[in-house]
């Protein structure tokens, strides 16, 4: 069961990474090539129980001109260290990457979707993105459950994040 849980964590990490590579999100995440080092770091993050790939953290830092990268501690948030940007990145208690932007009118920090930058209220992602992630994850859960039931695969045999990344 531990191997199955790890495979599921890796798949959720891959799902978030895959969503950032979707053509719709190219303006936000323009880099097409993810280096081997970043994939390795993302794999270690998944093993540690975090759903967010290092590649996504790095892209968010560079392309959103974020001055503070997320610390690997749950629930951290903080203001940007310079006045040149109004964006910060932090991890929620579930381990999801979250972006906060300062509202120019109210001067208050508001959370935005780390995928499409839409308003989220108090969630890590906007509802549309969450639905996409849930659909893909539930589909994977069904496939994995069927494979386990039929005895075709043990938890160790389920695809890992690097294997899935290479297929994408």
**What gap in Å lies between CA 26 and CA 36, rounded to an integer?**
20
Are 13 and 46 spatial neighbours (Cβ–Cβ below 8 Å)?
yes
- Closest to 161 in 3D by CA, of 58, 29, 11, 1: 11
Are 79 and 88 spatial neighbours (Cβ–Cβ below 8 Å)?
yes
Instruction: Give 26-83 pLDDT, tens digit per residue.
Output: 333 323 223 344 444 544 554 555 444 444 544 444 443 333 333 333 333 333 333 3
Domain boundaries, the chain: 2-167
**What gap in Å lies between CA 24 and CA 27, rounded to an integer?**
8
Structure pTM?
0.29
pLDDT value of residue 63: 41
Instruction: Give 104-161 pLDDT, tens digit per residue.
Output: 666 666 666 655 556 665 555 566 666 665 665 566 566 666 666 665 544 444 444 4
């Amino acid at each position: 069961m531990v191997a199955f849980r790890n495979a599921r964590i890796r798949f959720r990490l891959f799902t978030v990474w895959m969503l950032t590579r979707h053509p719709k999100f190219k303006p936000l995440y323009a880099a097409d090539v993810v280096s081997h080092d970043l994939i390795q770091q993302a794999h270690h993050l998944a093993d540690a129980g975090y759903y967010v790939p290092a590649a996504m953290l790095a892209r968010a830092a560079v392309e959103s001109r974020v001055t503070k990268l997320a610390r690997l501690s749950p629930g951290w948030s903080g203001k940007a260290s310079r006045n040149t940007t109004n964006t910060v990145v932090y991890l929620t208690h579930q381990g999801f990457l979250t972006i906060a932007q300062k509202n120019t009118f109210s001067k208050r920090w508001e959370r935005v979707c780390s995928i499409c930058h839409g308003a989220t209220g108090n969630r890590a992602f906007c509802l549309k993105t969450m639905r996409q992630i849930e659909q893909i994850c539930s589909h994977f859960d069904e496939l994995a459950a069927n494979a386990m039931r039929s005895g075709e695969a043990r938890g160790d045999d389920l695809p890992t994040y690097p294997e899935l990344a290479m297929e994408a």
